[in-house]
């Protein structure tokens, strides 16, 4: 009798220890989105894929990135010019951000057009909007990381916007920037959000949203 292939044997080995077949088939593959999901929910699937690309390319960029005002743009130029396929990873991260925002926006639009933002789905909608806003904040903070003229201009514009909030505006802006003018404290905050807090929030919200949609489905509730 032919010996099972290496992949099959590895799966058997894991199966005897952790019951992986049950987990993969029963818990992952069979728990797809509810049946009857409309075609536009694929915008959401594609956005989730774009998010994965952002995580993978972002981690690769992080290996070389130097998070100081003096070193940031030099380290990125090095990625572009000297590291093999560095230009490709950076390009994928920058283009991926645009695809992600575009696909997520299309998904939100489709949800609104189907009326799925209304009761009794309003919590799904709130979670979705929070995830989208966090993705926008990730795109904004990502553009600050190269610490070039455009980055400084966008930090200053963002801080000025926050300063307009009546009462707390100045304190909030100084806290976000880490002082009166953008400097290394700003870059540290931006990096912490972009690579740690932001990804944590986005992943938690996406996970929660998927769980909620599995409960409610994608079909509008018939009004009776
Ligand atoms: C929602 C997910 C994300 C979005 C939308 C996003 C977006 C961006 C954008 C627009 C840039 C500027 C690109 C450029 O200047 O050409 C950037 C830079 C960067 N991102 Fe992200 N990013 C995401 C996730 C991540 C993650 C998870 C990491 C790391 C763990 C990461 C690490 C970096 C680094 C190190 C840079 C600076 C290098 C560069 O500018 O090329 N990103 N990001």
CA of 204 to the centre of ligand 1 (A): 19
Is the pLDDT score of 221 beyond 80?
Answer: no
**173 in ligand 1 pocket by Cβ < 6 Å?**
no
For residue 165, is pLDDT > 80? yes
6 within a domain of the structure (yes/no): no
**Contacts of residue 83, Cβ cutoff 8 Å, sequence gap at least 6:** 64
Segment 169-190 shows an average pLDDT of: 95
Ligand 1 atom closest to the Cα of residue 202 is 1
| 7 located within any domain | no
Q: Would you say residue 20 lies in a domain?
A: no
- Establish whether residue 159 lines the binding site of ligand 1, counting it when its CB lies within 6 angstroms of any ligand atom: no
Which residue puts its alpha carbon closest to atom 25 of ligand 1?
58
Polymer length in residues for the chain: 224
Residue 66 makes CB contacts below 8 A (sequence gap 6+) with 72, 74, 75
For the ranges 3-7, 9-13, 93-97, the maximum mean pLDDT occurs at 93-97
Q: In angstroms, what is the span from residue 58 Cα to ligand 1's centroid?
A: 5
Tens digits of residue pLDDT in 65-96: 999 999 999 999 999 999 999 999 999 999 99
Show the domain range for 57.
38-216
Residue with tokens 């057009």: 113
Rounded Cα gap, residues 171 and 186, in angstroms = 14
- Does the predicted TM-score (pTM) go above 0.85? yes
How distant, in Å, are the alpha carbons of 103, 145, 208, 220 from that of 139?
14, 10, 21, 32
Helix then strand then coil, in percent of the chain rounded to 5, is 75, 0, 25
The span from the CA of 96 to the CA of 102, in Å, is 10
- For the CA of 143, the closest atom of ligand 1 is 12
Query: pLDDT for 103-142, tens place per residue?
Result: 999 999 999 999 999 989 999 999 999 999 999 999 999 9
Q: Is residue 128 part of a domain?
A: yes
Percent of the chain with pLDDT over 90: 77
The alpha carbon of 57 and the centre of ligand 1 are apart by a number of angstroms equal to 8
In a domain, 134, yes or no: yes
Q: Which of 194, 198, 199 to mutate to test the pocket of ligand 1 (most atoms within 8 A of CB)?
A: 194
* CB of 205 shorter than 6 A to ligand 1: no
The per-residue pLDDT for 224 is: 45
> Which residue's C-alpha comes closest to atom 41 of ligand 1?
90
CATH number at residue 162: 1.20.810.10
Average pLDDT rounded to a whole number, residues 164-188 = 94
Q: Report phi then psi at 165, rounded to 5.
A: -65, 125
Measured CA to CA in angstroms, residue 27 lies from 183, 216, 218 at distances of 48, 18, 20
183 inside domain: yes
Cis ω for the linkage preceding 120 (within 30 of 0): yes
Q: Are 216 and 124 in contact (CB under 8 A)?
A: yes
Asked if residue 134 has its Cβ within 6 Å of ligand 1, the reply is no
- Is ligand 1 within 6 A of the CB of residue 187? no
Residue 55 lies inside a defined structural domain of this protein: yes
CA of 107 relative to ligand 1 center, distance in Å: 22
Is residue 106 domain-resident? yes
Count of domains forming the chain: 1
Lowest mean pLDDT among 10-24, 65-79, 187-201: 10-24
């Amino acid at each position: 009798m032919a010996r099972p292939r290496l992949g099959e044997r590895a799966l058997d080995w894991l199966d005897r220890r952790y019951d992986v077949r049950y987990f993969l088939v029963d818990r992952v593959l069979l728990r797809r989105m509810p049946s009857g999901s409309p075609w536009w929910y694929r915008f959401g699937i594609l956005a989730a894929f774009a998010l994965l690309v952002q995580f993978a390319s972002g981690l690769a960029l992080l290996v070389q990135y130097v998070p100081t005002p003096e070193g940031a743009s030099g380290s990125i130029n090095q990625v572009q010019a000297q590291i093999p396929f560095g230009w490709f990873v950076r390009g994928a991260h920058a283009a991926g951000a645009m695809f992600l925002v575009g696909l997520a926006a299309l998904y939100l639009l489709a949800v609104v057009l189907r009326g799925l933002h209304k009761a009794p789905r309003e919590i799904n909608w709130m979670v979705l909007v929070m995830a989208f806003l966090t993705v926008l904040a990730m795109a904004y903070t990502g553009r600050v990381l190269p610490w070039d003229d455009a980055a400084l201009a966008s930090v200053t514009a963002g801080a000025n916007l926050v300063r307009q909030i009546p009462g707390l505006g100045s304190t909030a802006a100084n806290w976000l920037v880490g002082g009166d003018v953008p400097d290394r404290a700003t870059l540290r905050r931006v990096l912490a959000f972009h690579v740690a807090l932001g990804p944590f929030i986005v992943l938690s919200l996406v996970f929660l949203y998927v769980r909620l949609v599995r409960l409610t489905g994608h079909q509008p509730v018939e009004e009776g």
